[in-house]
Amino acid sequence: MATPTEPAATPTGIEQAHDTSKLWTPTRLGDIRVDNRLAMSPMTRRRADANGQPNERMATYYAQRASFGLIVTEGTYPSPEARAYPNQPGILASHAAGWAHVTDAVHQAGGRIAMQLMHAGRLTHPDITGVADVIAPSAIGYEAGSEHAHAPERNPVPKAATKADIDRIIEDHVSAAQRAIAAGLDGIELHGANGYLLQQFLSPATNQRTDAYGGSTAGRARFVIELLEAIAGSVGAGRVGLRLSPGANIQGADENDPHDLTATYTTLGYALRRLDLAYVSIVHPDLPGEFVQHIRHEFNAPLIANTGFSTVTSRNEARHLIDTGAADMIAVGRPAIANPDLPARWKTGADENRPDLTTFYSGDNGYIDYPTLNAHTVG
């Protein structure tokens, strides 16, 4: 990853037992108090029941990872049309009790857990949602890979959302956030990254509207601003975060013009700073760089940072970013899949299990069976 200076070499021996990195200090994300600076990054694992019901295995999986300062759940659909994948969990009324069980398990293990709300926008199919219309800002289909990432069908050309659709989508998210908080979740994260609905509104490639929700950087930012205002107004901004991947050019939500990119995300940050959000979570390859630090300043909120898919988050990178003040917290993805006790391993410099890519999105294995350090020494 691109950092201006090289991180210090991994400490060895006795030093590890006295790791003085700020990684291990508590902080606050709005109303959420966290014990350390490692967040479990939101990761779709597709182990819910077929009807989107969170189940016992999911409770075990998340509780195993309670030593992260904050767990952010996999992207969870707030309404049927928002669903992106088979076996993705939802937060419909029928799912609330299941999430209460997951949340209790995490809390009993001493952890904190926020739910990522995710609307697929154009990146889904009626066979997955059970809803005739696939909705997006504009009627522009995703051609790049043409097939849906998790299903054999081609994504259809979406219907351009009407103002009534936009109002309903916002209401659906507010109701979902209320259900999640009532189920005991410590916070709500809006998935504004990786080319799903929120980024489809932000990107000029996927938003070619000519009404108030498009046409300019301010227009393209409007939906995300109104959505955050509505959710914050309902459950309290101190429990609400937003995840963004500016300029990632992922799943066709391209943002290739650097001036437009800066203007769009500056508008967003400036408008949302007055809410006092719990945090902004940014996925970007150059986290200490001027762009990310500018957006962080505009939001004036704690920064959870992640470098994205191209490099796997490492212990040294996390320590360096926190200890130089480039971020307030680090979102750790793939190493958290393979190491339920990753904070203990990183604190002591212990070896890590390697994640099995073939079980990321399905399978009986590779979910709740990764061994902990204790299991190694005992077994």
**Residue 279 is a catalytic residue:** no
219 versus 223: smaller Cβ distance to ligand FMN: 223
Give the chain's length.
379
In the complex, the smallest distance separating the C-beta of residue 116 from ligand FMN, rounded to whole angstroms, is 6
In the complex, the smallest distance separating the C-beta of residue 39 from ligand FMN, rounded to whole angstroms, is 9
Residue nearest to ligand FMN (CB): 333
Q: Which residues pair with 71 in a beta bridge?
A: 40, 113
339 scored as a contact of ligand FMN (CB under 6 A): no
Among 21, 129, 306, 339, binds ligand FMN (CB under 6 A): 306
Which residue stretch of 3-11, 143-151, 263-271, 301-309 sits at the interface with ligand FMN (rule: CB under 6 A)? 301-309
In the complex, the smallest distance separating the C-beta of residue 100 from ligand FMN, rounded to whole angstroms, is 21
State the binding string over 33-62 for ligand FMN (x if CB under 6 A, else -).
--------xxxx------------------
Which residue stretch of 89-97, 215-223, 321-329, 332-340 sits at the interface with ligand FMN (rule: CB under 6 A)? 332-340
140 scored as a contact of ligand FMN (CB under 6 A): no
In the complex, the smallest distance separating the C-beta of residue 41 from ligand FMN, rounded to whole angstroms, is 3
State the binding string over 153-192 for ligand FMN (x if CB under 6 A, else -).
--------------------------------------x-
200 scored as a contact of ligand FMN (CB under 6 A): no
Angle at which helix 96-108 crosses helix 56-64, to 10 degrees, equals 30
Indicate which residue of 62, 85, 142, 196 is catalytic. Answer: 196
In the complex, the smallest distance separating the C-beta of residue 336 from ligand FMN, rounded to whole angstroms, is 7
283 scored as a contact of ligand FMN (CB under 6 A): yes
Residues that bind ligand FMN (CB under 6 A): 41-44, 74-75, 116, 191, 193-194, 243, 283, 306, 308-309, 312-313, 332-334, 360
Catalytic residue positions, numbered: 196
